[in-house]
Structure 1
């Protein structure tokens, strides 16, 4: 009796296992894999370049006369207005020279008037009057020169801007031409960055004549500067050692956040016309090479290597390896094997891309 019961139990177990296996095989056969095709579209790739930030005006403030620094009217980092007095070099010597020049002008004026009076009565020759007039003109010229030297003792701001640190202190003896400080006009900023030759050619091919490309600025704290800039200038020559050419973008700086000498990264969009686009998730990598699974007419998948032209968020622009008519496996790449026959469901390229977070147009 036990033997019969054991045989019945074994049979039931085998029947259950057989049913379960058949159910699993049937379930596997019913799995449909999503496939799609590459899409042809115009898009924009984002390139990033290390940049240097400069004030639109950044100059050195230097002494124009020799003397002791008598007064400093501003502080380091202070915002100043055009024409504002910044430094005063002791003016006593130049004031005395101006007074002397004024006295000489007065003397020459009296001498000229006396000579003119005599010349009017034909007492003296016309040449003597001409010499008196020349002497007066010379005295006036020396007076004007003395006034200029006196004005040079005052260093004023040539434009609105921010004063840099001082290189001299109150009471210092400064020489003619000695650096006192720097002045920066930060109302706008010039941002310089280098672009490789190939990307320069793409830029020039896609940007219309006389149009300005907008760019973004990623600051050192990894935050985007809130105001966009425009590429206004490209230098004339390439650097033969690096193969780069400098670009200059201009950024408004109404809040004064950017300062001269900062660094950051320029974010520039480069147009890609008629690019072949696929989702990144449809690719896999083997030994640093990118592959996709291509579905043949016999429903068998085969891997094909592809060359990536550009990388965007969640998508690749493909240079070669597949074309727009190929069907590529969209999902489940780890669940299939090479040369395996699968059941598939086609997803329109536009729908497949619309579910991704793209910056494509």
Structure 2
């Protein structure tokens, strides 16, 4: 009987033990605050640049054609070489033009002889007119003959000059300096000249200096215009980078902006002039260019990893003195030394979350860990233009 009386008590104790144990435990602790890295924006003296892509174009480009017709006698250049203004390129057989010059000179001598004879007749008629032995009409006729002879001399002199000019045109020289293309006509071929369909002989493209042409969007144009009106920035300075180079080692200056925006693309054509002493840049070559937007000024910079997106806005998260997180809309600038320029939205005293964005939400509390933002300088610029290009003028 005693055993059966104790069994209900044992069962009750077994059910009550877990509850008694739970009641004896301490209260559950609150979860630890998430730890994030925060830093003050880096204040750094910078210059802001905008990047564009474009191609080089020759400042001067000339198609070489003959001014006279004749048979090509000789060629005095190597295809693709650098030529200077005035260098002899082609010679057209000059003998027919030399003959024409001699004929013109002979006709000039004949016209001069006729003028001397007519002048003598005028002088004799004048003396006889004074003695009233000839009529005034005869005297006037002699004067007219002399004037016609003088005009004939002028025509003959012009013919001599024309023949001399045509003879000089048989020596075709470079009208500009630059790199010459391949010859189009071989020696012995008939060359036509002096007309709209004159024979193309070759072409020359100037190289030093050279133009760099690019297209900028309408927003960039208006931004530069505002800076110019405020007296800020030096938009005339440009730096260029070729394929395979690091940095922007080549320098130039803006010299032209077009007078209208292309309604099809919404862009406007710009142009810079770039020194090219080694003739490395050639027309048609692709390059990147950066254009100076502003003068040196102090800007606030943060790493791109600190940025988030809220619909159409870019935001960062800042932590106040109580550890509360709040979003802040910012206006972005370019990336310089690996950091993003913040034009608007932050102050130097703000503590920006730079690591641990996945653990923050607006209004929540965090455990901030102070860090430091350090720039990442770009590698030293390297250039492919340190040596003279093949055929460069020395």
Q: When the two structures are superposed, what TM-score results if normalisation uses the length of structure 1?
A: 0.78
In the alignment, the residues of structure 2 paired with residue 291 and residue 225 of structure 1 have an alpha-carbon distance, to the nearest angstrom, of 31
Aligned to 1:221: 244
Query: Structure 1 pair 311/81, CA: closer, same or farther in 2 (3 Å)?
Result: closer
In the alignment, the residues of structure 1 paired with residue 233 and residue 99 of structure 2 have an alpha-carbon distance, to the nearest angstrom, of 58
In the alignment, the residues of structure 1 paired with residue 37 and residue 289 of structure 2 have an alpha-carbon distance, to the nearest angstrom, of 38
Aligned to 1:356: 375
Aligned to 1:51: 54
Match of 1:281 among 301, 305, 323: 305
Deviations 1:314-337 (A, max 9, x none): 333446776666532233435x34
Query: Structure 1 pair 98/71, CA: closer, same or farther in 2 (3 Å)?
Result: same
Match of 1:35 among 34, 38, 52: 38
Cα shift at 1:210: 11
In the alignment, the residues of structure 2 paired with residue 80 and residue 343 of structure 1 have an alpha-carbon distance, to the nearest angstrom, of 72
Match of 2:319 among 295, 298, 311: 295
The question of whether the paired residues in 2 share the 8 Å contact of 1:62 and 1:180 is answered with yes
In the alignment, the residues of structure 2 paired with residue 257 and residue 299 of structure 1 have an alpha-carbon distance, to the nearest angstrom, of 58
Select the structure that is richer in strand.
Answer: 1
- After superposition, the CA RMSD in angstroms is 3.3
The question of whether the paired residues in 2 share the 8 Å contact of 1:216 and 1:224 is answered with no
In the alignment, the residues of structure 2 paired with residue 120 and residue 224 of structure 1 have an alpha-carbon distance, to the nearest angstrom, of 86
Aligned to 1:251: 274
In the alignment, the residues of structure 2 paired with residue 212 and residue 268 of structure 1 have an alpha-carbon distance, to the nearest angstrom, of 6
Q: When the two structures are superposed, what TM-score results if normalisation uses the length of structure 2?
A: 0.72
In the alignment, the residues of structure 2 paired with residue 129 and residue 32 of structure 1 have an alpha-carbon distance, to the nearest angstrom, of 113
The question of whether the paired residues in 1 share the 8 Å contact of 2:61 and 2:203 is answered with yes
In the alignment, the residues of structure 2 paired with residue 226 and residue 37 of structure 1 have an alpha-carbon distance, to the nearest angstrom, of 32
In the alignment, the residues of structure 1 paired with residue 243 and residue 352 of structure 2 have an alpha-carbon distance, to the nearest angstrom, of 41
Larger Rg: 2
Aligned to 1:3: none
In the alignment, the residues of structure 2 paired with residue 267 and residue 329 of structure 1 have an alpha-carbon distance, to the nearest angstrom, of 31
The question of whether the paired residues in 1 share the 8 Å contact of 2:41 and 2:347 is answered with yes
Aligned to 1:10: none
Cα shift at 1:39: 6.4
Q: Aligned to 1:205, what secondary structure does the other structure show?
A: helix
In the alignment, the residues of structure 2 paired with residue 224 and residue 114 of structure 1 have an alpha-carbon distance, to the nearest angstrom, of 82
Query: Structure 1 pair 243/43, CA: closer, same or farther in 2 (3 Å)?
Result: farther
Cα shift at 1:206: 2.3
Deviations 1:293-315 (A, max 9, x none): 3324542335x374553341433
Deviations 1:240-287 (A, max 9, x none): 111111111111111111122222121223239786643323235689
In the alignment, the residues of structure 2 paired with residue 320 and residue 240 of structure 1 have an alpha-carbon distance, to the nearest angstrom, of 31
Aligned to 1:17: none
Cα shift at 1:340: 4.8
Count, aligned residues: 327
- Which shows bigger deviation, 276-285 or 108-117? 276-285
1:129 aligns with 2:152: no
The question of whether the paired residues in 2 share the 8 Å contact of 1:306 and 1:318 is answered with no
Aligned to 1:11: none
